[in-house]
Amino acid sequence: MATAEATRQSRRRAILGRLAIPLLAIFTALVVASLAMVVSGTDPIKAYLALGEGAFGSQVARVETLIKATPFLLAGLGIALAFRGGLFNIGVEGQLFVGSAVTVFIGFSVELPAVIHIPLALLGGMIGGAVWAAIPGYLKARNGAHEVITTIMFNFIALRIISWTIGVDGPLRAPRTVAPETPAVFESARLPILIPDSRLHAGVIIAVFAAFVVYWLLWRTVAGFELRTVGANPSAARYAGINVEFNIVRTMALSGALAGLGGGIQVLGLAPYNFTTGFNVGLGFDSIAVAVLGSIHPFGVALAALLFGAMDAGARLMQLRTKVPIDIVTIVQGLILAFVAADQIIRRLYRIRAETEEGPVNLSELWGGES
Amino acid sequence: MSEPVLRLVGISKRFPGVLANDQVDFELAPGEIHALLGENGAGKTTLMNVVYGLYEQDEGQIFINGEEVEIHDPNDALARGIGMVHQHFMLVPVMTVTENMMLGHETTHGPRLGPLSDLDQERVAEEIKALGVQHGLPIDPEAYVQDLSVGEQQRVEIVKALYRGAEVLILDEPTAVLTPQEAEDLFAVMRSLIAEGKSIIFITHKLKEVLAIADRITVLRDGKVVGTAEPAQTSEEELATMMVGREVILQVEKGPAEPGEAVLEVQNLNVQNLREQSVVRGVSFSVRAGEILGIAGVQGNGQAELVEALTGLAPVEGGHVFMNGQETTHLRPRAITEMGVAHVPEDRHRHGLVLTYPLDENLVLQTYYLPPFAKRSFLQPKEVRENAKRLIQEYDIRTPSIGTHASSLSGGNQQKVIVARELSRDIRLLIANQPTRGLDVGSIEFIHTRIIEERDEGVGVLLVSSELDEILSLSDRIAVLYAGEILAVMPAREATKERLGLLMAGVREAPNSIAAD
């Protein structure tokens, strides 16, 4: 049928159009960062080749990339889900912390068969993250307190409470240790390793599976329809009889659960299988970039998480080979976010016309616009 | 004829995917009221925005007093004596009239200190007063804009244009927000401005108005000039045909109503707005099955809050609402919808549609959670698409595909989507708030016909509109809402434009003339 063919073609063009901005943003960020390298006297091509080799050049490299991408994917999915619901969840960092702490607690306090222990520990982490996110959600639904402010505050609260629990004489503090850390979780709570003698744990599969679940939830369920409608137009949602307040709390809880799952997987999947104060600091914030770069679409987030994972994995080899500091990766990541968020720069630069249909995430709108 | 003050030659303006103006020629003679008539989206406002410097034309030339000019921004336009009063006023509500006049044109006195110079408010206020007296546009320079009525704000806009030295005034849909009496006042002002040698371009889609006031009428359709006519040599029917491109029925056919049981009963309803001001005060009325109750009134007299309270979107402060005999006063929107209430909301972009959603999802906005569109919490995309296909055909929604986002449809088709969604459900009461605002003649005809059809099938209809013509042509009974109170309810046959107009302006009738319904 001609019309079906036309629909397919226009859909293909739409997908290409949606990919164009992120890809060009990545490219531009790499070019700009290479200028910094040239100024500091290194060859950017050499550096990027080393970065690529460090991320994909060997099995060890590829495993590291996947391991590093896993928490980005889960936290990024949480942020993307909240964005779809019209909420800017900056509290993923704190929700991840709470999730890890709860998972670790379940992991080291009881010994159970692995088939029960692992799901129970992860579920605990999800609930921890969900509760930690639902409170700001409730404050917004009830009193209109803006979630950007409250989730930032909740990050601090989470950090301080957990510092206390693993501090001197804290309830989760491992006995007879110098550093503030929890005991390691029991063997029975550790995620199975997928490739023998590697660090590749089953959390990677859980994360990819989560991406499909989020996709299916958003576009194939009644709850997803409500979530998206509240996000796209809360007034129309109310008109359609959707309970907007309930949906805000539910969306935050789901978002926090994904973050909590990400945190839990980090402690159950990677040695030393415990939780310390320096644990994954900044991951929740980097994941905002992952979600935005992934156009807040679950599959886009998966690609973006892979890229960020690869950059983190490859950075060390780059530094080793070319003396370019690891920090350049952070610069690239920051530039990518800047270019995606300020997509007008990219449009101007590459003369891409504004989209007439669904636009990209508008961060400023979520922050100050009508909601 | 003398040299035209404004002449446009071959103006074209393109937007992505749309040719908004296509080789438009237009002339404005000195001392003339030239109406620019056309449906929404015909390119009237675009053309005038080109003249006023808000857009730059892709092709074509602009001549002012015979001299070709380039207009890059409104300051260029104002410097050449062109002033524009937009449909949505460009005033700062928290500033006084004088401060608004000075925006972008600050008059100072004393030492020249750049941004630190002292503003000369007194002088500007004097000038405003003088202008007001000269043109019959009295305004208080000290008043805050937010305290002025819509009619007064419009006066401020006109004086502002005159204050900046406008010789040519562009009025974009100026009567849309006015009562019939206020519109008459505006026409008087327009005539006096003409008498003083100003020229006016009057943008509108209202046929009666152009015939009443214009010296010449240019009709635009799809960005092109269809023709120019003089009021004496044309008629409403001819102009409507020129606007739409086919013959249209201006008066809907409808038989007498056969009212049944009351489907909506409102008793002593009180509603407050977000600032906790009482905006609906002690309102009582009923709508019976098979009749249309029209609520007339100038926008902003409590209509929005009344409808929101009835549909559960806003809390009820006091009083009772019954639907089909059951109390619904404090029910949530969904519970009310499920009682068989359809709601065509006032603002289709804010409430009626999710603009970033494709058509098929918009068409199930009220029913997405019910079978066949959902089975055990799972959406059934196939059923959702089938539903869309059916309604697109039945309601003649012009769209490239069912996956097209609502934002890419024209206003008329967007409204058809809402009407299709609301009327395709099994309903007993239809609440339609401004169902045809901003729509073209063709879409209005379609929606009016559908509303009558629903009535004839036994649905009770509450029609809220600030368009008197709409109220008069559809309603079986008419209530007038003023300042949150119903001043009168009358059978449609006892209503005249004049009587309604006075009530809409808040003039209460002597007790003996208020006919009970």
Whether the per-residue pLDDT at A210 is higher than 50: the answer is yes
Query: What six digits make up the tokens of A46?
Result: 């050499």
Residue type, B68: E
Q: What is the model's pLDDT at position B133?
A: 84
Query: In chain B, which residues have their Cβ closer than 8 Å to the Cβ of A218?
Result: none
Query: What six digits make up the tokens of B401?
Result: 């595909």
Dist. CA B476–CA B489, nearest whole Å: 11
A224 touches chain B (CB under 8 A): yes
Q: What is the model's pLDDT at position B511?
A: 65
> pLDDT grade, residue A57 (50/70/90)?
very high
B69 touches chain A (CB under 8 A): no
Same domain, yes or no: B178 and B238: yes
Same domain, yes or no: B147 and B266: no
Lowest mean pLDDT among A171-185, B242-256, B260-274, B420-434: B242-256
Single residue among B244, B270, B289 that ends a domain in this structure: B244
Choose from B308, B365, B407 for mutation: most chain A CBs within 10 A: B365
B407/A356 Cβ within 8 A? yes
**B166 lies in some domain:** yes
SS3 B477: strand
Whether the per-residue pLDDT at B383 is higher than 50: the answer is yes
Whether the per-residue pLDDT at B90 is higher than 90: the answer is no
> What would the mean pLDDT of A330-358 be, rounded to a whole number?
76
Residue B16 contacts residue A354 (beta carbons within 8 Å)? yes
Strand partners, B18: B15
Query: What six digits make up the tokens of B57?
Result: 């034309």
A356/B17 Cβ within 8 A? yes
Q: What is the model's pLDDT at position B370?
A: 94
Lowest mean pLDDT among A19-28, A307-316, B213-222: A19-28
A370 touches chain B (CB under 8 A): no
Dist. CA A26–CA A19, nearest whole Å: 11
Mean pLDDT of chain B: 89
A243/B332 Cβ within 8 A? yes
**Intra-chain end-to-end CA distance of chain B, in Å:** 56
Dist. CA A257–CA A127, nearest whole Å: 6
Which percentage of chain A shows pLDDT scores above 90? 70
Nearest residue on chain B to A216, judged by CA atoms? B378
Whether the per-residue pLDDT at A364 is higher than 60: the answer is no
Same domain, yes or no: B195 and B334: no
- Which of B311, B333, B369 lies at the smallest CB-CB distance from A222? B369
Query: In chain A, which residues have their Cβ closer than 8 Å to the Cβ of B313?
Result: 238-239
Choose from A233, A247, A362, A366 for mutation: most chain B CBs within 10 A: A233
Most confident of A126-130, A167-171, A292-296, B64-68: A126-130
A239 touches chain B (CB under 8 A): yes
- Which of A10, A229, A241 lies at the smallest CB-CB distance from B337? A241
Whether the per-residue pLDDT at B287 is higher than 90: the answer is yes
B376 touches chain A (CB under 8 A): no
Query: In chain B, which residues have their Cβ closer than 8 Å to the Cβ of A236?
Result: 350-354, 365
CA distance A17 to chain B (A): 16
Nearest residue on chain B to A354, judged by CA atoms? B16
Dist. CA A126–CA A129, nearest whole Å: 5
Same domain, yes or no: B292 and B220: no
Helix (H) or strand (E) holding A119: helix A114-143
Residue B398 contacts residue B446 (beta carbons within 8 Å)? no
Residue B499 class from Cβ within 10 Å (0-12 exposed, 13-18 middle, 19+ buried)? Answer: middle
For B97-139, what is each residue's pLDDT tens digit?
998 888 877 777 777 777 777 778 888 888 888 888 888 888 8
Dist. CA A82–CA B105, nearest whole Å: 45
Q: What is the model's pLDDT at position A191?
A: 96
Nearest residue on chain A to B407, judged by CA atoms? A357
A220 touches chain B (CB under 8 A): yes
Of residues A35, A29, A13, A37, the one with CA closest to residue A349: A29
Q: What is the model's pLDDT at position A371?
A: 33
DSSP for B84-148, written as a single string:
EE-SS----TTSBHHHHHHTTS--EESS--GGGSEE-HHHHHHHHHHHHHHHT----TTSBGGGS
Q: What is the model's pLDDT at position B516?
A: 45
Same domain, yes or no: B192 and B133: yes
Single residue among B228, B244, B260 that ends a domain in this structure: B244
**B345 lies in some domain:** no
CA distance B309 to chain A (A): 12
> pLDDT grade, residue B88 (50/70/90)?
confident
Of residues A207, A329, A354, A187, the one with CA closest to residue A271: A187
- Which of A221, A237, A239 lies at the smallest CB-CB distance from B377? A221
DSSP state of B327: E
Single residue among B198, B229, B244 that ends a domain in this structure: B244
SS3 B487: strand
CATH number at residue B82: 3.40.50.300
Query: In chain A, which residues have their Cβ closer than 8 Å to the Cβ of B343?
Result: 239
A236/B350 Cβ within 8 A? yes
Dist. CA A136–CA A148, nearest whole Å: 9
Dist. CA B145–CA B125, nearest whole Å: 14
Residues 3-22 in B contacting A (C-alpha not used; CB under 8 Å): 16-17
Q: How far is CA B78 from each of CA B83, B126, B163, rounded to the nearest angstrom?
A: 6, 21, 10
A357/B334 Cβ within 8 A? no
Place of tokens 């003089």: B230
Nearest residue on chain A to B331, judged by CA atoms? A241
Residue B73 contacts residue B84 (beta carbons within 8 Å)? no
Nearest residue on chain B to A240, judged by CA atoms? B366
For B150-178, what is each residue's pLDDT tens digit?
788 888 999 998 888 899 999 988 887 77
Going by C-beta distance under 8 Å and a sequence separation of 6 or more, which residues neighbour residue B220?
Answer: B24, B36, B37, B38, B42, B43, B44, B47, B226
A243/B16 Cβ within 8 A? no
Q: What is the model's pLDDT at position A4?
A: 60
3-state DSSP helix/strand/coil percent for chain B, to nearest 5?
A: 35, 25, 40
B407/A357 Cβ within 8 A? yes
The CA radius of gyration of chain A, in Å to the nearest whole number, is 21
Report the Cα B19 to chain-centroid distance in Å.
24
> pLDDT grade, residue A369 (50/70/90)?
very low
B379/A225 Cβ within 8 A? yes
Same domain, yes or no: B164 and B268: no
Report how many domains make up chain B: 2
**B262 lies in some domain:** yes
Q: What is the model's pLDDT at position A233?
A: 95
Choose from B375, B379, B421 for mutation: most chain A CBs within 10 A: B379
Residues 379-408 in B contacting A (C-alpha not used; CB under 8 Å): 379, 381, 401, 403, 405, 407-408
Same domain, yes or no: B174 and B291: no
Residue A242 contacts residue A226 (beta carbons within 8 Å)? yes
**B1 lies in some domain:** no
A239/B333 Cβ within 8 A? yes
A362 touches chain B (CB under 8 A): no
Query: Which residue range is the domain that position B287 belongs to?
Result: 251-340+429-517
Of residues A255, A283, A253, A252, the one with CA closest to residue A267: A283
B339 touches chain A (CB under 8 A): no
Query: In chain A, which residues have their Cβ closer than 8 Å to the Cβ of B335?
Result: 241
- Number of CB pairs, chain A paired with chain B, less than 8 A apart: 85
SS3 B24: strand
Which percentage of chain B shows pLDDT scores above 90? 55
What sign for the dihedral angle of Cα B321, B327, B331, B336?
A: negative
Residue B351 contacts residue A215 (beta carbons within 8 Å)? no
Of residues A368, A319, A302, A330, the one with CA closest to residue A33: A330
**B418 lies in some domain:** no
> What would the mean pLDDT of A11-37 be, rounded to a whole number?
84
> pLDDT grade, residue B245 (50/70/90)?
confident
Nearest residue on chain A to B365, judged by CA atoms? A240
For B416-458, what is each residue's pLDDT tens digit?
999 999 999 999 999 999 998 877 777 888 899 999 999 999 9
**B351 lies in some domain:** no
Give the up-direction half-sphere exposure of residue B307: CA atoms within 13 A in the CB hemisphere: 29
Dist. CA B384–CA B36, nearest whole Å: 42
Same domain, yes or no: B212 and B257: no
Query: In chain B, which residues have their Cβ closer than 8 Å to the Cβ of A220?
Result: 378-379, 381
Which percentage of chain B shows pLDDT scores above 70? 98
Residue B157 contacts residue B145 (beta carbons within 8 Å)? no
B379/A224 Cβ within 8 A? yes
Dist. CA B469–CA B436, nearest whole Å: 11
A169 touches chain B (CB under 8 A): no
Choose from A83, A217, A225 for mutation: most chain B CBs within 10 A: A225
Same domain, yes or no: B191 and B329: no
Same domain, yes or no: B62 and B89: yes
- Which of A225, A228, A241 lies at the smallest CB-CB distance from B332? A241
B368/A239 Cβ within 8 A? no
- Which of B354, B374, B378 lies at the smallest CB-CB distance from A233? B354
Same domain, yes or no: B172 and B275: no
Give the up-direction half-sphere exposure of residue A207: CA atoms within 13 A in the CB hemisphere: 33
> pLDDT grade, residue B17 (50/70/90)?
low
Whether the per-residue pLDDT at A158 is higher than 70: the answer is yes
> What would the mean pLDDT of A316-329 be, rounded to a whole number?
88
Long-range contacts of A316-321 (CB under 8 A, 24+ apart): A316/A54, A317/A50, A317/A51, A317/A53, A317/A54, A317/A57, A317/A61, A318/A47, A318/A48, A318/A50, A318/A51, A318/A54, A320/A50, A321/A46, A321/A47, A321/A50
- Which of A10, A242, A356 lies at the smallest CB-CB distance from B16? A356
Whether the per-residue pLDDT at A358 is higher than 50: the answer is no
> pLDDT grade, residue A357 (50/70/90)?
very low
Going by C-beta distance under 8 Å and a sequence separation of 6 or more, which residues neighbour residue B405?
Answer: A357, A358, B355, B356, B357, B358, B359
Residue B396 contacts residue B446 (beta carbons within 8 Å)? yes
Q: What is the model's pLDDT at position A39?
A: 87
A7 touches chain B (CB under 8 A): yes
**B378 lies in some domain:** no
Same domain, yes or no: B277 and B217: no
Query: In chain B, which residues have their Cβ closer than 8 Å to the Cβ of A238?
Result: 313, 333, 351
**B353 lies in some domain:** no
Place of tokens 């006096």: B192
Of residues A308, A307, A328, A332, the one with CA closest to residue A318: A328
Residue type, A316: R
- Which of A6, A222, A236 lies at the smallest CB-CB distance from B352? A236
